[in-house]
Amino acid sequence: MAGTPDDALGWVQRADRETSLLFDVFVLGNRTRTLVVEAMRGAGLRPDEYAAYSVLFEEGPLSLTQLAMRLGLPLTTVADHVRAMTERRHLRRNANPTDGRSTLLSLTAQGLRTHRRASRSFELAHAALREHLRPSEEASAREMLRRITASTERAIAALPARRAG
Amino acid sequence: MAGTPDDALGWVQRADRETSLLFDVFVLGNRTRTLVVEAMRGAGLRPDEYAAYSVLFEEGPLSLTQLAMRLGLPLTTVADHVRAMTERRHLRRNANPTDGRSTLLSLTAQGLRTHRRASRSFELAHAALREHLRPSEEASAREMLRRITASTERAIAALPARRAG
| pLDDT tens for each residue of A70-82 | 999 999 999 999 9
For residue B133, list chain A residues with Cβ-Cβ distance below 8 A: 21, 148, 151
Average pLDDT of the residues in B126-149: 92
Distance from CA of A83 to the nearest CA of B (A): 20
Alpha carbon distance A57, B3 (integer Å): 10
Nearest to B5 among A13, A70, A98 (CB): A98
Closest CA in chain B for residue A138: B21
**pLDDT in the model for residue B6:** 35
Q: What is the 3-state secondary structure (H, E, C) of B11-74?
A: CCCCCCCCCCHHHHHHHHHHHHHHHHHHHCCCCCCCHHHHHHHHHHHHHCCECHHHHHHHHCCC
- What is the per-residue pLDDT for A98? 86
Residues 34-93 of B with CB under 8 A from A: 34-36, 38-39, 47-48, 51, 54-55, 57-62, 66-67, 69-74
CA distance B36 to chain A (A): 9
How large is the average pLDDT for residues B1-11?
A: 36
CB contact under 8 A, A25 and B32: yes
Look at residues A33, A148, A59, A69 and name the one whose alpha carbon lies nearest to residue B129. A148
SS3 B92: strand
Q: Which of A35, A70, A158 sits opposite B131 (nearest CB)?
A: A158
pLDDT classification of B64: cutoffs 50, 70, 90: very high
Could you report the predicted ipTM of this complex, rounded to two decimals? 0.88
Judge contact between B64 and B79, C-beta under 8 A: yes
Candidate from A35, A47, A60 with C-beta closest to B152: A35
Q: How confident is the model at residue A21 (pLDDT cuts 50, 70, 90)?
A: very high
Per-residue pLDDT tens digits for B74-126? 999 999 999 999 999 999 999 988 888 889 999 999 999 999 999 999 999 99
- CA dist B53 and B58 (Å) reads 9
By Cβ distance, the residue of B39, B58, B71 closest to A2 is: B58
Residues of chain B with C-beta less than 8 angstroms from the C-beta of A65:
none
Averaged pLDDT, A112-141: 93
In Å, how far is B124's CA from the nearest CA of chain A?
A: 7
Minimal Cα–Cα distance from A5 to chain B, Å? 7
| % of chain A residues with pLDDT over 90 | 76
Contact at CB, B73 and A140, closer than 8 angstroms? no
Length of chain A: 165
* Nearest by Cα to B13 from A69, A104, A35, A128: A69
Check if the beta carbon of residue A140 is closer than 8 Å to that of residue B144: yes
Pairwise CB contact (< 8 Å): A22 & B126: yes
By Cβ distance, the residue of A4, A47, A144 closest to B141 is A144
For strand B91-95 and strand A103-107, is the pairing parallel, antiparallel, or unpaired?
Answer: unpaired
